[in-house]
Each structure stands twice: as structure tokens, then as C-alpha cells.
Amino acid sequence: MENIIDYLKAERSQEWRAEVRKRMKAKERTSLQRINMPEEDPDVRNKNSVEVNKGLAPEMAIAEAHRCLDCADPTCITGCPVGINIPKFIKQIEVEDFAGAAVTLKETNALPAVCGRVCPQEKQCELNCFYTQKLDKPPIAIGYLERFAADWERNSGKMSVPKTEKHNKIKVGVVGSGPAGLAAAGDLAKYGYDVTVFEALHEVGGVLKYGIPEFRLPNELVDVEIETMRKMGIKFRTDFIVGKTATFDDLKKEGFQAFFVGSGAGLPRFMNIPGENLNGIFSSNEYLTRINLMHAASDEYDTPVISGKNVAVIGGGNTAMDSVRTAKRLGADKAMIIYRRSEAEMPARIEEIKHAKEEGIIFMNLHNPLEYYSDENGRVKQVKLQKMELGEPDASGRRRPIPIEGSEFIIDVDTVVVSVGVSPNPLIPKALKNLKVTDWGTIVVDPDTMQSSVPEIFAGGDIVRGGATVILAMGDGRKAAAGMHKYIQEKIQAN
Amino acid sequence: MFKARIFFYFWQLKILIKNYFRQKKMSKILEKEFFSKNVVKLVLEAPEIARTRKPGHFVIVRIDEKGERIPLTISAADEKKGTITLVIQRVGVTSAKLCNMNVGDVIMDVVGPLGTATHIEKVGTVLCAGGGVGVAPMLPIVEGLKKAGNRVITILAARSKDLIILEDQMREFSDEVIVMTDDGSYGKKGLVTAGMEEVINREKVDLCFVIGPAIMMKFGALTTKKYNIPTMASLNTIMVDGTGMCGACRVHIGGKTRFVCVDGPEFDAHQVDFDEMMTRLGAYKEQEYEAYQKYLQTVEA
């Protein structure tokens, strides 16, 4: 930790940084207005899959970068799970060194173009910004600037490939190619390891591909980031399920020394209420996978999907917002969110809720489904809802929803997407008998090294957390890569 | 001209190298055999799956870039040759495309082995009733049961003679094979349940397996329930990923929702809600019909 602080100080005291700070008085900087993200018209975008946020133009990004005070104590970094050198990359944008800004981002973040789009910045870096903390003003738009630098580099056609240490020929495996796995793979490659990423699906990217829709995170962009990782020497094996296609022991015999498991929170949760297995009722995982990964909405592809005119999405998280906005884009007249608490308790990013409202999504907050009713063909046609009110805060710190007796009523629906969370994927715990797991099925790890009860196996992301964000998963991946590096080096020295 | 050719070779070499580094393992079709007009056996190259698969396991197949992911139970494997065998019945677009593929063609994605393997042990006498293409996934189970020392009685059932498959292979591992056809064109005339009752009334049966169309498994399960014979069914629900992620395959088992892909595909047949399963199998009936008609037009054109 000391090292990092010293490093940041040394970086900050470089001549160019000091010179940039002097260009403008702090008072002038704080009087500037935060930039607004240009967005696609809500009535246009809710009928297609174009990206909602259009990204900043260079002059907008430079103007926003001027607001940053380049604080002596950059609290924003403490809010970043992967520890990006935030003031440095922002000041690089201020001096129009966009390529340099992208390099700074990639020092600690394998997927800047992704994080600039999907991170809940308002709960992380931007929450810890001096503007938010001390000035009571809108924070620096760190997320928009991150996205800007990453996009600029990609569009320039000259993607920088992060430097890697000399190849040490030691084989390590990464299980799962979602954000946790990619972050771990990126760092392991930087340490010089021979990294192979194993993916169960036919495409690399995990939740970035099957889960997050095109209008929020274009797939093409994920592919570009993965291509960069390939250039770093990382190998990808799709259609490969570790524990099934080959066991950990098989892979160890092939020379793999250690593994990072980032297999994600695979199993969708349902509410176990009557009628939940009717046709037309999906988990958000199924609904989004059919559309995002399998392209079911396109006639050219073979995979079908049912998406009706009256769509109810149960839940208040980011996945629920992604599902309901997808339903609207597939032609729903009424696309509704049904959530048992109020908007203040919603786990979704503020921007997603705002975008959903602009696009005409109906919010039925403080409502909970009790039962689904079927038509003569086994397809859902109605749902019985109950009104809720908020009581005292529960273990999660959010106010507990309490049913209001006698408030039940029935509405028409022809499609329902259940988005009430996920459970850890059981494939890996099932494949390793002596792996310690919690009652929830998450893998138990040392929080500093992410090492599991099986010494050569490290884990992170949703398989450890049970359901979190892209960036927390990436933070775990980085931490685990450092833990694996230490473990392998110690093992070599011991021999 | 010469320069252009050199450039062309370089370009091809570049693609070859690129594909190599992509590590995409496609599965080539090595053998094809028609069991009947609409039932095809394919032997595919899949060395890793051939090595690790066990009876009861299935694979997910995607034919090409635009294909859907469908589950198919492995009916045999050859570890030495590195091959697996799948039996496919032409029912929709993807199965029809598979049936129309030839030796030398490649399938883009074959992933597995998936599901929980069949629990095989010596229990005594086991009655294995397979209907239609359900006989294919039954084959490795029959083989496993026989090798574990059980007396195995196999019933092969189908609408008519041309739909009876794998009879010789089944005879190899069964103590007795009974053939039943609905129309009496081969073996005994009657439904699979008639054959099952005949055996149950004749001798003590300790365990039963039923694999086939949902309706056949439903009535097979009802039959053995009357006699309190433990019975396993292998469910063939709709799936997308096959690894527990989507929940498309969910069905009530003993009043609880379970996932066929990770909890199954085999379950206690007396606990399965077959009516719900049949409804769920029909979820995309309209889309499937439409897509199939469209596909037939392109094939005929």
C-alpha cells in the first residue's frame, strides 16, 4: 500500500503535472459546469439497439478534464476497485494526450471501454470525488472520461498492447471469460505467465456478451478488448467446461500450475410462486441470453424468443432494467418494472433508471407478484399483484417491504421476466470435492489473496460474492492474479 | 500475376495462423447412417468429450454462426478414435439441418459432456423401456447396467418397424429384447406400456428406466407406479446454455422446480410433472413451425 501511495505521489510531482495544475486557478476550475453526456433521442432509441450514450466529443472531454483539481490526496482512487490512477489519466486528457490517457487506464484496468460504460461510478470514484465530498457539487464525470479515452484509442486504430514481462513458460488456467476472468488473465499475462482462458459458451466475454444489452455495451467493443488480450499472448478455449470437458487433475497433468475460477453466478433465482413455470415466463438470464448472445430478435438467426405486448419485469437491479428496456425495443406496448420496494432502494444505476423512464418504461414500485394465471395453451396471461409498504431497515440496510393485506389485484401480461437475483454456478464446487463453499454455494477465499481451500485454486467475482458488479469482479481478478503470482513464485523458490 | 499469387498464399497462411490461435475446435462429421428417413446417426470428432463422458451425459450443439443451441444425449463414444455418436430425429430446423449434413462437414460448436451421469449399480433386474429416438440415449445406460452385473430386459418401442433403431447393439448388452410397434409391423403390436406390464407380471423388476417422448415417459411412469417399481426418466427439455444459467429447462420434480441441465437429465419418474414438461416443450411451437416451413422452402428451392 505504501508503495502505491509513493508511486502516486511521484507521478503527481512530475513536471508536466505540476505545470498543468498551474494553468488554471482552482476557483476557476470549480466554477466550470459538469458536462452532460449526449444521448440518443428516447423515442428513437427505444425502437432499436443503438447505444444510448453517444460519448463525449474531444472538446467536451477536455473541458470536463479542466474541472479536475488533481488533488494532493486523490480520494477518487480509493473508490475504484481496480485502483486506476484517475487524476493522471484526466490530466492527460486535459493536455490532449488521449493515447497516453488510454495507456494509463490499461495499466490497472483490462477493460476501460467496458467500465466507462457499466460501472456504478456514482457509488465508487465519483462518490469519493472532492466535488461530491467537500464542495457539494456534481463530481468530475470520471466514467464519461474513461469511456472517452478508451473509445478514442479504439477509433484511432492504434490500440496499445500492455507491456508484459518476459514469458516464463509457466501455464496457468482461468475458468470463465467474464470480467473477473479477463481481469485476472490480463494481469497474469503481464506477470509473464502462459495464460489459457476456458469458456463454457461459444463466445468469450461472459456476462458482457450474454447479459448486458447492445444499447448499453456493444458486443463489438468487447471483442476489440479481447483481441488486445490475444495480442498479449492470452489463449482462449471456448466450448470448454472445466470439471466436465476436462477435470482440474487432467489440466494439472497438462502442466497447469494454478487456476483462477471466475465462473460467475450461474443459477437464476425464481420466487417459487404458483404458475411461475408457465410459458412466456423467463429468467432474465434466459431472456437476455436469447437476445444478446443468440440474436433471437433477428430473423437470420435460428434461436426464437417470445416477447409480447404486455411485459412485466420483476426486480429493481441493473439486469431488470436491461430486460425491461430490451422488451420495449422488441415492440412491447407496455413494458413494466414490478419492484417490491421504492425507487430509493433500487440497486440499479441511477443512469439506467433515468434512461428507462425516458424510454417510456412503466414503474410499478411497491408491488409484488403472488401468482401467475395461464391461458388455454399454457402461456401466462395475467399476474396477481399485491401492494407493499416500507417498514424498518433489514439486514441489507434497505427498508423492508411489508405486504398490505387485501390490496391484491390482477393485471394482464403476456411475457414475464423474473430478475430477482442469481445463485452461484454449482459446476465448479461439484467438480472439486475438497473445495470449501458457503451455505450459499459461494467459494470461500482468503480476502487478501483470493486463494481457496485448495491451494492452487483462486477465485473471484460472483462465484465468491454471489452477485455483484463488473468492476468488483475485475478487482477480484486483479487481486487473485497477484495472489497466484506470489503462490507460484514461492512454490518455485521452495523447490 | 506471380506476385499476386504469393500475396494470396501469404493471406491464406495468415488466416490459418489466426484460426490456430483462436483455438476454436470444430467437430467434423466422420460417419453418417440413416436409421430411417427421419432418424440419422452421426459420429463426430470430439476427443475430449469422448474421454470424459459417461452414460446419461449430453452435449449442446450449435451448427453454425447463426444456429441455435440444442441439447443431444450422447449415445456412444469411442475414446481411442476420439469420437462421440449422436442420434437425431428430424423435427425442426436445427435437427433437419443436422440430418442433412454429410461426412466431412463440420459442426461449429459441440460442448460437453453436460448433466449428471446415470447412477449405475448392481440392483438385480432392470427393465429399460426406450421409445423412438429415446432408444439412443438408453444404449449407454443398458451397456453400463449390464457391465455392472444386472439382468437387463430392454423394450424397444416405436410407431412402426422403420422407426425401431439400434436393435443389434441393444441385443449385445441385454439379456432379452422385446420389440413393440403401434401398428404391429414388427415385434409385438401394442404400446410400450403393454410390453412393460408383461415383464412386470412375469418376473420381479427392481428398477426401471424410461426414455422417449414425454407422453411415453408419462405413461411408462404411471405403469411402474402401480407396481411401486423405482423408475428413472431422462428428460429432454428446451435448453439454451446447458450449464444452469438460463433456467429454460426448469420443471417441477416432486413439487420443487429443478433444472434438467445440471440437476438431471435423469430424475425419479414418479416425481416428474410430465404435463408441465409437455406444455413447456411446446413454448415455441408456432415459431418452430413457421421457421421449419421457411426452411423447407429454402431447401426445396
Yes or no, beta carbons of A427 and B243 under 8 Å apart: yes
Q: Which residues of A touch B25 (CB under 8 A)?
A: 237, 239
pLDDT tens, residue by residue, B216-271: 999 999 999 999 999 999 999 999 999 999 999 999 999 999 999 999 899 999 99
Measure CB to CB from residue A270 to each of B108, B257, B279 and give the nearest one. B257
Give the cell for residue A460: 473471484
Helix (H, G, I), strand (E, B) or coil at B2: helix
Query: What are the tens digits of pLDDT across the range A66-123?
Result: 999 999 999 999 999 889 999 999 999 999 999 999 999 998 888 999 999 988 898 8
Q: Give the rounded percent of residues in chain B with a pLDDT score beyond 90.
A: 75
Best interface-test mutation with B: which of A201, A232, A276, A418 has the largest number of B CBs within 10 A?
A: A201
B112 to A268: CB separation less than 8 angstroms, yes or no: no
User: Which residues of B fall within a CB distance of 8 Å from A304?
Assistant: 68, 284, 287-288, 291
Q: What is the pLDDT of residue A302?
A: 87
What residues in B contact A266, CB-CB < 8 Å?
A: 243-245
The whole-number average pLDDT for the span A327-346 is 94
Q: What is the mean pLDDT of residues A248-257?
A: 94
> Mind listing the pLDDT tens digit for each residue in B165-187?
999 999 999 999 999 999 999 99
The string of pLDDT tens digits covering residues B106-149 is 999 999 899 999 999 999 999 999 998 999 999 999 999 999 99
> Is it the case that residue B21 has pLDDT exceeding 50?
no
Separation CA A276–CA A260 (nearest Å): 36
Closest residue to A303, CB basis, from B49, B68, B112: B68
With a CB cutoff of 8 Å and minimum separation 6, the contacts of B50 are B77, B78, B79, B81, B82, B83, B84
pLDDT score for B147? 94
ipTM: 0.87
Q: Which of A202, A246, A279 sits opposite B109 (nearest CB)?
A: A202
**Strand, helix or coil at B108?**
coil
Contact B269, B224 (CB under 8 A): yes
